Chains A and B, each alone.
Chain A
Amino acid sequence: EIVMTQSPATLSVSPGERATLYCRASQRIGSNLAWYQQKPGQPPRLLIYAASTRATGISAKFSGSGSGTQFTLTISGLQSEDFAVYYCQQYSTWPPGTFGQGTKVEIK
């Protein structure tokens, strides 16, 4: 069974700085990876699919890269509304829709 591992678990970043989040798959998944943002008390929001394609209405400050087993989400110019938990999710192998454990981006 595929395992998605996100790092770090918590990332402390100052407003205006850039945050880099990592997601590693235990087996190759091509570019079949999505990223979500979840704020407290809210549902997840799709940010990125196909590893690097921004979803509709998502700011260009969010960018995704990677393929195979190593993926990155970069958030530039962090603002207060960007502090949240971010999840990666693979959609390549069974079981479907496997999520990582999340990275919390907090204010430094």
Chain B
Amino acid sequence: EVQLVESGGGLVQPGGSLRLSCAASGFTFSSYWMSWVRQAPGKGLEWMATIKQDGSEKYYVDSVKGRFTVSRDNAKNSLYVQMNSLRAEDTAVYYCARPIVVIAHGIYNWYFDLWGRGTLVTVSS
């Protein structure tokens, strides 16, 4: 079965750190770009980060640049995000998602054909 399973969420204090993981199965993980998308409680979806198949290119939304780092281990079929300097506004369900990458106007862009069930991160004192 093709699936993505996230783990690592929880309660963390403002300024703290957390590392999320995503385990992929049922497809050739190393052949795909991978992404994180988040959703604050009761709110809409926000693309957060994307990493190329070999990890050589990484893209982030401005609000997490310098604080979050996406990485992957193709040998373990796993995607990660290290989240530092967490803020209350980072409270959200974090989804691992598989992007379908296109090149539009000379830049990479993507939509998402596979999603995990998400893991909740709560930043609160």
| A contact residues vs B (CB 8 Å cutoff) | 30, 32, 34, 36, 38, 42-46, 49, 55, 87, 89, 91-102
A43-B115, A96-B107, A102-B45 are known contacts; what are 19 more A-B pairs with Cβ within 8 Å? Answer: A34-B111, A38-B45, A43-B117, A44-B45, A44-B112, A46-B112, A49-B113, A55-B113, A91-B104, A92-B105, A93-B104, A93-B107, A95-B47, A95-B62, A97-B47, A97-B111, A99-B45, A101-B44, A102-B44
Q: In the complex, which residues of chain A have a beta carbon less than 8 angstroms from the beta carbon of B35? A: 97
Chain B CB within 10 A, most for which of A44, A93, A102? A44
State the Cβ distance, A29 to closest chain B Cβ, in Å: 8
B45–A91 touching, CB < 8 Å: no
State the Cβ distance, A70 to closest chain B Cβ, in Å: 18
Give the residues from 81 to 125 in chain B that come closer than 8 angstroms, CB to CB, to chain A: 95, 99-100, 102, 104-105, 107-113, 115-118
Given A98-B47, A99-B47, A101-B44, the answer on whether A91 and B111 have CB atoms closer than 8 Å is yes
Chain A CB within 10 A, most for which of B115, B116, B117? B115
A96–B44 touching, CB < 8 Å: no
A96–B118 touching, CB < 8 Å: no
Given A32-B104, A92-B105, the answer on whether A42 and B111 have CB atoms closer than 8 Å is no
Can you name the residue of chain A whose Cβ is closest to the Cβ of B35? A97
A44–B115 touching, CB < 8 Å: yes
State the Cβ distance, B105 to closest chain A Cβ, in Å: 6
Q: In the complex, which residues of chain B have a beta carbon less than 8 angstroms from the beta carbon of A96? A: 47, 50, 59, 107-110
Can you name the residue of chain B whose Cβ is closest to the Cβ of A42? B117
State the Cβ distance, B106 to closest chain A Cβ, in Å: 10
Please give me the 5 A-B residue pairs with the lowest Cβ-Cβ distance, nearest first: A97-B47, A43-B115, A34-B111, A91-B109, A96-B109
Q: In the complex, which residues of chain B have a beta carbon less than 8 angstroms from the beta carbon of A98? A: 47
Partner of B105, one of A36, A42, A93, A101: A93
Chain B CB within 10 A, most for which of A30, A34, A46, A55? A46
State the Cβ distance, A87 to closest chain B Cβ, in Å: 6
A94–B102 touching, CB < 8 Å: no
CA of A44 to CA of B107, assembled, Å: 25
State the Cβ distance, B22 to closest chain A Cβ, in Å: 12
